[in-house]
Structure 1
Amino acid sequence: MLLRAALATVLLAGALSGAPAHAAPADVPARAELGSRAATAGTRWITDERGRVLVLQGLNMVYKIAPYAPDEVGFGRDDAQFLARNGFTTVRLGLIWKAVEPEPGQYDDAYLARIRRTARILADAGIWTLLDFHQDMYHERFQGEGAPDWAVQDDGLPAQPQLGFSSNYFGMPALMRAFDHFWANDPGPGGVGLQDRYAAAWAHVADFFRGAPRILGVDLFNEPWPGSTWQQCANPAGCPVFDAQLEAFTQRVIDAIRAVDPRTPIFYEPHVLFNNGSRTHVTPEGAGLGFSFHDYCLTAEAGGEGSGQAACDAFDDLVFDNADAHAADTHDAPLLTEFGATTDRTTLTAMVDRAAAHRVGWQYWAYCGCDDPTTTGPGATQALVLDPSRPPRGDNVDRAKLRAIAVPHPQVVAGVPTAYSFDRDTHVFAASWSTRRAGGGGFGAGSRTVLSMPRLVYGDTYRVAVSGGRVVSEPGARTLVVAQRRGADRVRVVVRPG
């Protein structure tokens, strides 16, 4: 989530064949077209089991209050279908370490079964789940959530001053010491290192979910906070000393997961100040890795609509440039797993359009407010759906926010995306892709690419022009399906209002 705007000054200082018009009702996307197994195979792209590139757009669903399960607040089948109808194909689904391992070495499989049921509901709707071990400010003692009680080592310091999220990161010594002990892998109960317990818990979760459909991957640790050395990271060059600790932790967890699951993609995160323009030096080893990063405009809540947009653009461009550079160096697939937490539509549209320009998938924060104890502003500020226990329609949906983030885009590409963009004034969408495979070789005639055409944008009618392929989906389908023509090395699609 968003960190204090006090960091802004520090960080900024550094740095065609025609197709007929499509009309008629449309259904939820054809799930058979969307794949069921994900991979990252030494390229910057996430792919399905056919080698097609997944361009993921979706939301976060994390419930941060006991019992820490999204179904507790009513998130279920109607929510999954709502997301699919609007073109979203991914959810970052939160697990809380405290619920996974309430006592050292003892795992709550009943809790994991609740999370797995939710993931299955999402899979049935054609939605990919990224399992996220979520934390903010480490533990409830520090006005946050995440770690079990037995994993808190704060040297007996008082949990003061209580300034709330995210100010406690900067002003509460006890919280900083808890992170220091964790990054040092200091021994906890039974003399076992805190990170060793954490890695074993992840291995148990990975084994529990192995074989579940449409698991996009696992996200190892939400927004790692450097602890008492955070000032060293608050600059554009980053902090190699802390990153060495973070890399060792990341590698420890990767190795534990790979011992039980050799296939599921593993997404690791940089220290949290990467969100605001600081570089990362974390480069773990292993197959099937992804890079989970966040981007929050530091001035998004400073004023009204579009307030401080020039400053936002400078920060956000820097974050994306850093993510691109990291992906180029490591070949680990980038995914923007958090942005948003605002009602400022200019900020949201700029971020969605920026991600498209960089050809990076994303997950908006957040699906609901859900009494979130660690966010900026009231829950309605971040929520797309105000109350998951009610049907996601009418005044229970923030329609302005939905229009900002539900845009036409490729969902599954039989090839490698070269460009895609949506003009919000004219409602013209254009996408192009090479027919080569991300991992080498190429796609042949008839290979299918799926593109989202939200009804919010086009209603019941749109016109399509295609070169290098032909439309094979039904008229008016919310998912436009294009089959590659024989001999094509490039396909281009342009969609206009009907």
Structure 2
Amino acid sequence: GASWDGFPDWATFSDGLPPGPVPGLFAAYTLSPAQNRTWANFWRDHPAPDGVGVQEHYAAMWSHVAQRFTGERYVLGYDLINEPWPGITHPTCLLDGCPEFARDALAALEGKAMTAIRRVDPRHLLFYEPFVTTDFGAPVRMPNPTGDPRAGMSFHDYCLGPIRTCPGNGFDSTRAAGTAGLVTEFGATQDTAMLERVTGSLDDAMASWMLWSSTQNQLPGHSEQPPTGPDLISPAGPIVRPYPQAVAGTPQSWHFDPGTATFNLRYTTARPDSGRPFDGDLRTEVYLPAQDYPHGYRVDVHGADVVSAPDAELLRLRTTPGQSAVQLTVTRR
């Protein structure tokens, strides 16, 4: 339903069904006969014009991309598919997460992509993604497609209203699979109260997150525009907020109160993998944006010493020898 997004024509098999008219993103997903038939044929691995299945072409595309980026240090990983749609089975997926279909169709596809990437790139992280129905609070039934130990799950949080099951569902799934969870989309709004609620809940889950900008997506030439200036939501208010960038230990919790600019962080000094203290003189680094502390900040810390300059935007802590835990409180001056 858009000019800049979707499968290429040669990989789109609608079997002659009409696309609409179905105005709007959600109507296109749920009501378009062509859209739903195309996804159904994708999940069935419909042969492309050359006789090779479209899923094999999809995996080959990922192999090509990974071969280009395998040596790049600043690539975190590969998000294997963005918001896959289950097709006509979407009501079932909204209700119970359609575990069989997620396992037999979606995980099978993403497993092909993971295997193709691993042939050329053994190092970077792989982020599999559940059906788009989970964006709105449906259960996440997505397994780690190949059991890869360097895999995580990319998922989105567009839960509406006071019922916010999205983060919990996502992290319940990653805990069960023994993988990492990364919230790669939320936002699509300039409602600061909503953004504050979401970022606060993700902080409480000690989650890493990425904002999605609705204004950029609505530009006519979206894919050709640089992600700067008017193409993005202004990073004001609750989007830019304090958080620990690096922890010399195992984080236990952190919390930010935007009303008072009070930030709390608690962590143990033990490594999460072995339980032993870190070797060497490693520092914990906490980002404290100047917009929240225009006149500086006060630090109350137990178990560590401040080794950064007063009011530095990046607060650095060095663990006091012999301490098993660190408690930090930052308040506005």
**What's the TM-score once normalised by structure 2's chain length?**
0.92
Assess if the C-alpha contact under 8 Å between 2:299 and 2:331 holds in 1. yes
Report the counterpart of residue 82 of structure 1 in structure 2.
none
Shift of 1:369: 1.9
Q: Give the secondary structure class of the aligned counterpart of 1:214.
A: coil
Report the counterpart of residue 218 of structure 2 in structure 1.
371
Report the counterpart of residue 112 of structure 1 in structure 2.
none
Specify the code of the residue in structure 1 equivalent to 2:151. L
Residues 215-234 of structure 1: matches in 2 within 5 Å? 215-234=75-94
Assess if the C-alpha contact under 8 Å between 2:189 and 2:214 holds in 1. no
Q: Give the secondary structure class of the aligned counterpart of 2:50.
A: helix
Q: Give the secondary structure class of the aligned counterpart of 1:185.
A: coil
Assess if the C-alpha contact under 8 Å between 1:173 and 1:228 holds in 2. no
Shift of 1:332: 0.9
Shift of 1:384: 8.9
- Pair 1:201–1:247, CA change in 2 (3 A): same
Deviations 1:422-453 (A, max 9, x none): 11222111101122223224314622111110
Residue among 369, 372, 386 paired with 2:230: 386
Say whether 1:328 aligns with 2:187.
no
Provide the C-alpha distance between the structure 2 equivalents of 1:442 and 1:189, rounded to a whole number of angstroms.
Answer: 58
Provide the C-alpha distance between the structure 1 equivalents of 2:172 and 2:30, rounded to a whole number of angstroms.
Answer: 29
Task: Tell me which stretches of 4 or more aligned residues in structure 1 moved more than 6 Å.
Answer: none
Say whether 1:288 aligns with 2:147.
no
Say whether 1:164 aligns with 2:24.
yes
Total equivalences in the alignment: 325
Specify the code of the residue in structure 1 equivalent to 2:326. V
Report the counterpart of residue 456 of structure 1 in structure 2.
291
Report the counterpart of residue 239 of structure 1 in structure 2.
98
Provide the C-alpha distance between the structure 1 equivalents of 2:17 and 2:133, rounded to a whole number of angstroms.
Answer: 25
Provide the C-alpha distance between the structure 2 equivalents of 1:486 and 1:367, rounded to a whole number of angstroms.
Answer: 48
Say whether 1:484 aligns with 2:319.
yes
Shift of 1:372: 4.3
Residue among 59, 65, 74 paired with 1:214: 74
Assess if the C-alpha contact under 8 Å between 1:444 and 1:486 holds in 2. no
Q: Give the secondary structure class of the aligned counterpart of 1:228.
A: coil
Deviations 1:101-138 (A, max 9, x none): xxxxxxxxxxxxxxxxxxxxxxxxxxxxxxxxxxxx6x
Provide the C-alpha distance between the structure 2 equivalents of 1:249 and 1:271, rounded to a whole number of angstroms.
Answer: 12
The worse-fitting range, judged by mean Cα deviation, of 483-492 and 191-200 is 483-492
Shift of 1:211: 1.6
Shift of 1:297: 3.3
Specify the code of the residue in structure 1 equivalent to 2:237. R
Q: Give the secondary structure class of the aligned counterpart of 2:266.
A: strand
**What's the TM-score once normalised by structure 1's chain length?**
0.62
Assess if the C-alpha contact under 8 Å between 2:94 and 2:139 holds in 1. no
Assess if the C-alpha contact under 8 Å between 2:125 and 2:150 holds in 1. yes
Report the counterpart of residue 185 of structure 2 in structure 1.
338
Residues 118-197 of structure 1: matches in 2 within 5 Å? 140=2, 145-197=5-57
Residues 387-402 of structure 1: matches in 2 within 5 Å? 387=231, 398=234, 402=236
Provide the C-alpha distance between the structure 1 equivalents of 2:57 and 2:174, rounded to a whole number of angstroms.
Answer: 29
Shift of 1:476: 2.4
Specify the code of the residue in structure 1 equivalent to 2:299. V
- Pair 1:356–1:212, CA change in 2 (3 A): same
Provide the C-alpha distance between the structure 2 equivalents of 1:373 and 1:247, rounded to a whole number of angstroms.
Answer: 33
Residue among 254, 262, 267 paired with 1:433: 267
Structure 2 alignment gaps of length 5 or more:
none
Q: Give the secondary structure class of the aligned counterpart of 1:186.
A: coil
Deviations 1:290-345 (A, max 9, x none): 111111133xxxxxxxxxxxxx231x2x1122112112211110111111111111
- Pair 1:370–1:336, CA change in 2 (3 A): closer
Deviations 1:11-60 (A, max 9, x none): xxxxxxxxxxxxxxxxxxxxxxxxxxxxxxxxxxxxxxxxxxxxxxxxxx
- Pair 1:416–1:247, CA change in 2 (3 A): same
Assess if the C-alpha contact under 8 Å between 1:151 and 1:194 holds in 2. yes
Assess if the C-alpha contact under 8 Å between 1:165 and 1:374 holds in 2. no
Provide the C-alpha distance between the structure 2 equivalents of 1:210 and 1:367, rounded to a whole number of angstroms.
Answer: 30
Residues 406-425 of structure 1: matches in 2 within 5 Å? 406-425=240-259
Say whether 1:259 aligns with 2:119.
yes
Specify the code of the residue in structure 2 equivalent to 1:466. V
Shift of 1:415: 1.7
Shift of 1:460: 4.4
Assess if the C-alpha contact under 8 Å between 2:256 and 2:264 holds in 1. yes
Report the counterpart of residue 313 of structure 1 in structure 2.
162
Assess if the C-alpha contact under 8 Å between 1:166 and 1:374 holds in 2. no
Deviations 1:257-311 (A, max 9, x none): 111111100111111111112112221211201111111133xxxxxxxxxxxxx
Provide the C-alpha distance between the structure 2 equivalents of 1:490 and 1:333, rounded to a whole number of angstroms.
Answer: 24
Provide the C-alpha distance between the structure 2 equivalents of 1:272 and 1:384, rounded to a whole number of angstroms.
Answer: 27
